[in-house]
Amino acid sequence: MDFAFPPSARASLPIAGTDARFPVRRIYCVGKNYADHVAEMGGDVERSEPIFFTKAAETLVQDGTDIPFPPNTENLHYEVELVVAMGPPEINGGIFAYGVGIDMTRRDIQAKAKAKGGPWDRAKSFHLSAPCSALTIANTVDLSAAHITLRKNGDTVQHSALNKLIWSVDEIIAYLSQDMDLQPGDLIYTGTPAGVGPVIVDDELSGEIEGLERVTVRFV
């Protein structure tokens, strides 16, 4: 292949316990997948169904990164989420690894988009909007009883259990497989529990799921 100029590097994530990196293709995100978060956003829990959107792979941020505060927002929110990393179907049924992600959201831009029925890209898929931990090989960890926690400057601001997902990991994968083009290298941010809130410059976020690597980032 002869490119007119050098292509940008493929996004990737470290994998705990190995020097090999996970090559990232697409990032799918699930919205409205914990009842308590649907309620805090003013939704109807009884009638709510999960929704899907995407972030560009190039928006990924690795653990330990100082993130320049993004432009054009006065309400930058955190959403801690279990991340599923898809691999070849012959390995562990296609679930290659898990991580902890933070779906950073320009909530003020999202609110305007919702009001106008417009797209969410500027609210969700902006530069450096997808922090994610190093990945943990899926068949080395049991997440069935695991809790998910986000700390802001050391204080717990989000805390829930993964078994409270409205759509389970298997259901999300089944849906994306028939609706979209789910492939090895794809990441799925599976949705956030209640407690989303803002960050400002100098805030540090640390996301944790028992058994997985942590993701810690700071806004500068």
Using CA of residue 151, residue 168, residue 166, residue 24, what is the dihedral sign? Answer: positive
Should residue 190 be labelled a site residue for Mn ion when binding is judged by CB under 5 A?
no
Q: Which of 55, 63, 79, 130 binds Mn ion (CB under 5 A)?
A: 79
* Least Cβ distance, residue 133 to Mn ion (angstroms): 16
When the beta carbons of 103 and 186 are compared against Mn ion, the nearer one is 103
Should residue 192 be labelled a site residue for Mn ion when binding is judged by CB under 5 A?
yes
Sequence-distant (≥ 6) Cβ neighbours of residue 35 within 8 angstroms: 45, 48, 164, 166
Distance CA 85, CA 94 (A): 9
* Least Cβ distance, residue 4 to Mn ion (angstroms): 36
When the beta carbons of 28 and 219 are compared against Mn ion, the nearer one is 28
Decide if 151 contacts 206 (C-beta within 8 A): yes
Pick the piece of the chain touching Mn ion (CB under 5 A) from 19-27, 58-66, 169-177, 186-194.
186-194
When the beta carbons of 137 and 151 are compared against Mn ion, the nearer one is 151
Q: Is 212 exposed, middle or buried (0-12, 13-18, 19+ CB in 10 A)?
A: buried
3-state secondary structure 50-81: CEEEEECHHHEEECCCEECCCCCCCCEEECEE
* Least Cβ distance, residue 81 to Mn ion (angstroms): 6
Question: Which residues ranging from 92 to 131 are in contact with Mn ion (CB under 5 A)?
Answer: 103
Pick the piece of the chain touching Mn ion (CB under 5 A) from 15-23, 88-96, 189-197, 199-207.
189-197
When the beta carbons of 56 and 91 are compared against Mn ion, the nearer one is 56
Distance CA 181, CA 2 (A): 27
Should residue 186 be labelled a site residue for Mn ion when binding is judged by CB under 5 A?
no
Residues at the site binding Mn ion, with contacts judged by CB under 5 A: 79, 103, 192
